Chains A and B, each alone.
Chain A
Amino acid sequence: MTIGRIGWILLALLGAVALGIVASARGEPVNAVWIVVAAVAVYLIAYRFYALYIAKNVLQLDPSRPTPAVRHGDGLDFVPTNRNVLFGHHFAAIAGAGPLVGPVLAAQMGYLPGMLWILAGVVVAGAVQDFMVLFLSMRRDGRSLGELVRMEMGPVPGSIALFGAFMIMIIILAVLALIVVRALAGSPWGLFTVAATIPLAVVMGVYMRWIRPGRVGEASIIGLVGLILAIVYGRAVAESATLAPWFTYTPVQLCWILIGYGAVASLLPVWLLLAPRDYLSTFLKIGAIAALAVGIIIVAPPLQMPALTKFIDGSGPVWSGSLFPFLFITIACGAVSGFHALIASGTTPKLIASEGDATFIGYGAMLMESFVAIMALVAASVIEPGIYFTMNSPAAILGTDAASAAAAVSAMGFPVTPELITSTAADVGETTIISRAGGAPTLAVGMAHIFSQLIGGKAMMAFWYHFAILFEALFILTAVDAGTRSGRFMLQDLIGLAVPSFRNSSSFIPALVGTLVCVGAWGFFLYQGVTDPLGGVNTLWPLFGISNQMLAAVALMLATAVLFRMKRERFAWVTMIPTTWLLACTVTASLLKLFSATPAVGFLAHANRYSDALAAGTLLAPAKTADEMRRIITNDYIDAALCALFLFVVLSILFYTIRTCLAARRMAEPSVHELPLVAAAE
């Protein structure tokens, strides 16, 4: 027996011990470090054994085969890149708000279900999906997901997949914007720091464009210093009687501000606002994630949240629905995320230097993202459960003052005093923490809890809270701007099918129309979420989760079809197992969202409740007029239609996949559209 083998056995034992400690703890708080140890052991073992098995046997990676970067090297889009450098690039592109928010929301069932799903999901589904799509795109000149589906399954499923991806983007933008609204409403300190990033970005943009062209490092240092000053000065703004009202808005006001801002920001020249803020937010994101990892390991906080709460039965206040299927769509990114299929078929496959690197980049970067989700789960679980439920339950349950909130949360079985609620708010420099749904504020409290034990103690807690809010809001807003821009191009292409002049992305009128339609679409769902009495997260997050997991199922079905076409169907279980699980979760969840008789879960049941009340001549909160009642009913029908549409997308792709696989089985030879082994003569 070699030393290496002994090492792996010891690692497996360590992981098993850590998992055992985490899973069997009852009553006594478990230290977060055990979760980290269990996760890292699972990742290393999965990578060493499962990822390399897929690379060697299923995909049969061939390092001697030229990659797109080698075939088409142009120094611009196609550049053979060092694997470590490319790993960083790919990780930065896939890591976003998703893995941070989902686990926070899932913590209402306790930390254990979320943790187990994040670990099992990433190993069997998420990392497999990313790796497979990267492989497929790498073997086809770095083509995008829509083109891959078109090539391997036909034009109709290709168009369906593209359309599905566009709708998912709209929902993602709406739900991300909702998180920012929930985090910044009534928070002058938070809004001031986020607003300060606009002039800062303009300064950086001008610096990089005209003063010192291309000096990203210098401009980023200017931006970072500005950000820290903005966070420090934000306290003075919040405490000033004259300045604070300038930065204090209700959720509805903020919703309109964001819609207007999104339209303007995506029309401005990119170098002025979008690009510099993107740079700042990317570096801040990577820095904050690294700092959180260091913080959790050094501080080693105990978990206050129980391993399981009674809300696994589906009665939880944060979101409605039972553990199966709703936990598996609430934690989307971090376990498995369909959106990654778009990234893994974007810039990364054009930069890979050798096929052999695809395992490390495709499978490895997703393990890293999963670790981010684990850290978010830890951050949500180290705070007092009473505070967690005070922050995440809707105002309809809690009321608006500390006394009523404390009574309601204590009645749930998580004792908390009004004093603890007000003192926590004061510690983080906010007027209230009641019903700050959406995950971001909870994560910020958790991060502040950890960071303040590392640097600064309680006195620095407010600084760290607003640092965390800024870090989340900044990269969410960048995603909203960039997403609106991509959505606008997609729409211009779609309209361009009928009116060819619309495709010209540089002329003003098509750009304006495309932007307004795109902003209008996500703005509609944002407004609906902001005015929802249950906080909006309950409506929009499941729609997002369902659509994102369905896209993952689509990507895995594509991979299955390709394995059949490669005549490697004996290995197709690698993609069929996660596909089956994702289909079971998403189809069940969308059918429940459509037809469940519980109004908190089913859109149609909710609409019926309001229709019945309207017919009886009564008003149900939050509606104050019959018109508002009708609008709520319309919203329910739109949400239901969207859910049905997602269901149609995924089931039709399933149909085409089965057809492709059966056709491939009848053929004697492989029939994939891979590029030939040797580069064609130019």
Chain B
Amino acid sequence: MIRRLLARAAETARLMIGQPPYEAYCTHMAQTHPGEPVMTRAEFFRNRQDARFNSRNGRCC
């Protein structure tokens, strides 16, 4: 229970800074695009970091 809550909190904190869960990405790739190359955790991190700061979406006041 507490372990689940902590995991949720960590997931929230990561999404706040624009990092969706890597595991969900891997699951998605395995299910929908089997056999295609999958980014490593580090590549995934950089990809999401670049996406967050190279978007036209502003941040709030």
User: Does B17 have its Cβ within 8 Å of any Cβ on chain A?
Assistant: yes
Taking CB atoms and an 8 Å cut-off, the chain A residues in 79-116 that contact chain B are 79, 81-82, 84-86, 88-89, 92-98
Please give me the residue from chain A that is nearest to B44 by CB atom.
A214
Chain A residue contacts of B12, Cβ below 8 A: 84-85, 88-89
Measured CB to CB, the closest approach of chain A to B15, in angstroms, equals: 4
Chain B residue contacts of A387, Cβ below 8 A: none
Interface string of B38-61 (1 = CB under 8 A from A): 000110111111111111111111
User: Does A424 have its Cβ within 8 Å of any Cβ on chain B?
Assistant: no
Please give me the residue from chain A that is nearest to B42 by CB atom.
A213
Measured CB to CB, the closest approach of chain A to B59, in angstroms, equals: 5
Please give me the residue from chain A that is nearest to B58 by CB atom.
A486
Choose, from A70-78, A320-328, A403-411, A429-437, the stretch at the interface.
A70-78
User: Does A643 have its Cβ within 8 Å of any Cβ on chain B?
Assistant: no
Cα-based distance from A130 to B1 in the complex (angstroms): 33
Measured CB to CB, the closest approach of chain A to B9, in angstroms, equals: 9
| A76 x B25 contact (CB < 8 A) | yes
Chain A residue contacts of B60, Cβ below 8 A: 93-96, 98, 333, 337, 339-340, 342-343, 479
Q: Which of B8, B10, B49 contacts A271 (CB 8 A)?
A: B49
User: Does A286 have its Cβ within 8 Å of any Cβ on chain B?
Assistant: yes
* Contacts known (A75-B20, A213-B41); A275 close to B61, Cβ less than 8 A: no
Chain B residue contacts of A208, Cβ below 8 A: 45
| A97 x B55 contact (CB < 8 A) | no
* Contacts known (A76-B51, A208-B45); A86 close to B15, Cβ less than 8 A: yes
- Can you list 13 A-B contacts with CB-CB less than 8 angstroms, sorted by A residue number? A79-B24, A96-B59, A144-B57, A169-B58, A214-B19, A270-B50, A270-B52, A286-B16, A339-B61, A346-B57, A486-B57, A486-B59, A487-B58
| B20 x A79 contact (CB < 8 A) | yes
10 additional contacts (CB under 8 A) given A270-B52, A544-B61: A75-B29, A79-B28, A85-B8, A89-B15, A93-B59, A95-B60, A96-B59, A97-B61, A279-B17, A339-B60
Q: Which of A209, A342, A548 contacts B58 (CB 8 A)?
A: A342
Q: Which of B19, B44, B54, B59 contacts A216 (CB 8 A)?
A: B19
| B20 x A81 contact (CB < 8 A) | yes
Interface string of A471-507 (1 = CB under 8 A from B): 0000000110011011101100100000000000100
User: Does A176 have its Cβ within 8 Å of any Cβ on chain B?
Assistant: yes
Taking CB atoms and an 8 Å cut-off, the chain A residues in 326-372 that contact chain B are 332-333, 337, 339-340, 342-343, 346-347, 351
| A482 x B58 contact (CB < 8 A) | yes
| A270 x B59 contact (CB < 8 A) | no
| B57 x A337 contact (CB < 8 A) | no
Please give me the residue from chain B that is nearest to A220 by CB atom.
B13
| B14 x A216 contact (CB < 8 A) | yes
Measured CB to CB, the closest approach of chain A to B56, in angstroms, equals: 5
Please give me the residue from chain B that is nearest to A87 by CB atom.
B12
Measured CB to CB, the closest approach of chain A to B14, in angstroms, equals: 6
| A144 x B15 contact (CB < 8 A) | no
* Contacts known (A144-B57, A208-B45, A486-B56); A92 close to B16, Cβ less than 8 A: yes
Cα-based distance from A279 to B53 in the complex (angstroms): 12
Q: Which of A76, A92, A332, A482 contacts B53 (CB 8 A)?
A: A482
Chain A residue contacts of B24, Cβ below 8 A: 75, 79
Q: Which of A213, A283, A332, A544 contacts B13 (CB 8 A)?
A: A283
Please give me the residue from chain A that is nearest to B15 by CB atom.
A89
Cα-based distance from A339 to B32 in the complex (angstroms): 36
* Contacts known (A76-B47, A85-B12); A270 close to B61, Cβ less than 8 A: no
Measured CB to CB, the closest approach of chain B to A368, in angstroms, equals: 13
Please give me the residue from chain B that is nearest to A369 by CB atom.
B60
| A347 x B17 contact (CB < 8 A) | no
Residue of B28, B51, B57 with highest tally of chain A CB at under 10 A: B57
Chain A residue contacts of B58, Cβ below 8 A: 169, 339, 342, 482-483, 486-487
* Contacts known (A85-B11, A89-B15, A216-B19); A75 close to B49, Cβ less than 8 A: no
Measured CB to CB, the closest approach of chain B to A452, in angstroms, equals: 28
Chain B residue contacts of A347, Cβ below 8 A: 18, 57
Interface string of A430-460 (1 = CB under 8 A from B): 0000000000000000000000000000000
Chain B residue contacts of A676, Cβ below 8 A: none
Chain A residue contacts of B55, Cβ below 8 A: 346, 486, 489
Chain B residue contacts of A279, Cβ below 8 A: 17
Measured CB to CB, the closest approach of chain B to A672, in angstroms, equals: 24
Cα-based distance from A608 to B13 in the complex (angstroms): 53
Interface string of A248-281 (1 = CB under 8 A from B): 0000000000000000000000110011001100
User: Does A617 have its Cβ within 8 Å of any Cβ on chain B?
Assistant: no
Cα-based distance from A282 to B52 in the complex (angstroms): 14
Chain B residue contacts of A487, Cβ below 8 A: 58
Chain B residue contacts of A77, Cβ below 8 A: 51
User: Does A217 have its Cβ within 8 Å of any Cβ on chain B?
Assistant: yes
Chain B residue contacts of A562, Cβ below 8 A: none
Cα-based distance from A274 to B49 in the complex (angstroms): 10
Chain B residue contacts of A587, Cβ below 8 A: none
User: Does A558 have its Cβ within 8 Å of any Cβ on chain B?
Assistant: no
Q: Which of B19, B22, B61 contacts A172 (CB 8 A)?
A: B61
Please give me the residue from chain B that is nearest to A505 by CB atom.
B54
Chain B residue contacts of A351, Cβ below 8 A: 15, 20
Chain B residue contacts of A505, Cβ below 8 A: 54
| A275 x B57 contact (CB < 8 A) | no
Cα-based distance from A489 to B53 in the complex (angstroms): 11
| B10 x A217 contact (CB < 8 A) | yes
Measured CB to CB, the closest approach of chain A to B7, in angstroms, equals: 10
Please give me the residue from chain B that is nearest to A85 by CB atom.
B12
| A548 x B61 contact (CB < 8 A) | yes
* Contacts known (A76-B25, A76-B48, A214-B42); A482 close to B8, Cβ less than 8 A: no
| A270 x B21 contact (CB < 8 A) | no
Chain A residue contacts of B59, Cβ below 8 A: 93, 96, 478-479, 482-483, 486
Please give me the residue from chain A that is nearest to B41 by CB atom.
A214
Chain B residue contacts of A216, Cβ below 8 A: 13-14, 17, 19
Please give me the residue from chain B that is nearest to A176 by CB atom.
B61
Q: Which of A176, A278, A332, A343 contacts B57 (CB 8 A)?
A: A343
| B57 x A342 contact (CB < 8 A) | yes
| B53 x A274 contact (CB < 8 A) | yes
Please give me the residue from chain B that is nearest to A79 by CB atom.
B20
Please give me the residue from chain B that is nearest to A205 by CB atom.
B49
